Amino acid sequence: MLEREIIIRFTGISVVKALFLSPIVVVPVCLLLYLPWDSPNAPAWVQAVGSIAAIIAAWLIPYQHEQMRIRKQKEDLIASVAWLALRVKNSFDHMADVIQRSEPEARDGWLFLSAPAGWAIHRDAAREFPLAGFTRDEISWLLSIRSVTEFGLLCAETLRVWDFDECPNLAQDFPHNDGIVFHRPKIDWVLEQLPLGSPRRDSV
């Protein structure tokens, strides 16, 4: 039997409609409309209705705060993913440029900037993001970033130990050129999909 993924999304309007149609709201409203307020027992009814309202408020306020906290945490995670994707793209472009230039000086400058260590940091950061709590589309972004960082680290290690005396034509002889062509569009795609990708690219 095939497993099927079911994603349920709630909007603010749908939640409000559900609350107004729920018994915890309908019952107190009926009580307010139909209780004998002119009877001697009216104070007791008022106290009962007030108690019900207090119970509803005691549940609703923490629930709203928790939903706001979850939404803010998710927004922060997505912003962190966008920032990492941008850093990975910059590192990828820089490394690809060094490879295409085929100059020992360019590679030495790249090493001076600790680029291989930077790729290890990118890889570890991509692994730290939990997949739980993300939608299917967001998980595909994360998996793409992980794939690119793993490949980037492989390229960085190869470039770090490259012997220009033995193979001076780096651009032609680099063994991962096909992988660069394959992986480079992935990070561009992630940045296009991320809602914070465009603002962050403009701000850096």
Residue 101 has pLDDT above 80, yes or no: yes
**Residue 48 confidence (pLDDT):** 73
CA separation for the pair 161, 105 (Å, rounded): 14
CA separation for the pair 68, 131 (Å, rounded): 20
**Does the pTM exceed 0.95?**
no
CA separation for the pair 36, 43 (Å, rounded): 11
Q: Whose CA is closest to 147, among 127, 128, 118, 133?
A: 127
Q: What tens digit of pLDDT does each residue of 129-171 get?
A: 888 878 888 899 999 999 999 999 999 999 999 999 999 999 9
Angstrom CA distances, 101 to 66, 98, 170, stand at 53, 5, 8
C-beta of residue 175 within 8 angstroms of C-beta of residue 158: yes
Ramachandran angles phi, psi of 28, nearest 5°:
-60, -35
Q: What percent of the chain has pLDDT over 70?
A: 74
**Residue 132 confidence (pLDDT):** 82
Q: What tens digit of pLDDT does each residue of 18-58 get?
A: 655 666 566 666 666 666 666 676 677 667 767 877 787 77
When the pLDDT of each residue in the chain is averaged and rounded to a whole number, the result is 81
C-beta of residue 86 within 8 angstroms of C-beta of residue 48: no
Angstrom CA distances, 67 to 25, 62, 64, 70, 102, stand at 20, 9, 5, 5, 53
